[in-house]
Amino acid sequence: MTTEEKKEKRKTYLREYLREWRKKNPERNAEIQANYWKRRLEKQARAGEG
């Protein structure tokens, strides 16, 4: 297996793992998403001020 194939396999595995995790933990996932967007918007606002 080449390095590229290994990288692709890791990416695929992680994607599948996270998809399953989100299904099992919907409330925690919602919390994480909310925090992510809140920080993202704050960062954008700070960038706009500068």
Contact by Cβ (8 Å): 16, 23: no
* pLDDT at residue 14 greater than cutoff 90: yes
What would you report as the CA-atom Rg of the chain, rounded to the nearest whole angstrom? 16
For range 1-24, the mean pLDDT: 97
Give the total residue count for the chain: 50
The gap from C-alpha 32 to its chain's centroid, in whole angstroms, comes to 9
* pLDDT at residue 50 greater than cutoff 80: no
The domain in which residue 13 lies consists of: 3-49
The total number of structural domains in the chain stands at 1
pTM beyond 0.85: no
What count of other Cβ atoms lies within 10 Å of the Cβ of residue 29? 14
The per-residue pLDDT for range 19-49, each reduced to its tens digit, is: 999 999 999 999 999 999 999 999 999 998 7
